[in-house]
Amino acid sequence: MAMNDTLAGTLNNIQNAETVGKGSCRANPVSKTAKKVLEIFKDNLYIGEFKIIENGKGDIFDITLIGRVNKCGVIKPRFSVKLTDYAKFEKRFLPAKDFGLIIVSTPKGIMTHTEAKEKRLGGKLLAFIY
């Protein structure tokens, strides 16, 4: 299957597997961005462990699900966000205050919107999860 957005494909696989109640899912191909986003999800206890299975053609994520994802997805278009704009996008993509995460690509790397606010960084919105 031809895919232009590896992150969208990965999050879509997680969302679909969570919806039907599976304990794990696989997503390919692997990308550095998707890997970093999955690390953030794992650190915030939305998913369990994940590993990369090398198959010589793009590799595969093997992701353990723990039933904590209500909804996740990419944010398209990848809006630019200034420090003052985070509240607007939190209202748009998250269901309640302090509930869920928005993943932002900043000049200092990929991080959650709360980290970006603490470090006073703007960036581009990548994804959300709650």
Amino acid 87: pLDDT: 95
- pTM of the prediction? 0.95
Q: What is the CATH number of the domain that holds 40?
A: 3.30.1370.30
Residues 83 and 60 reside in one and the same domain:
no
As averages over each run of 10 residues, the pLDDT of the chain (130 residues) reads 83 97 96 97 98 94 97 97 96 95 98 97 98
The boundaries of the domain holding residue 90 are: 75-129
Nearest Cα neighbor of 109 from 43, 19, 40 is: 40
Q: Report yes or no: 76 and 25 within 8 Å, Cβ to Cβ.
A: no
53 and 100 together in one domain: no
Shared domain check, 42 and 82: no
Contact 86, 117 (CB under 8 A): yes
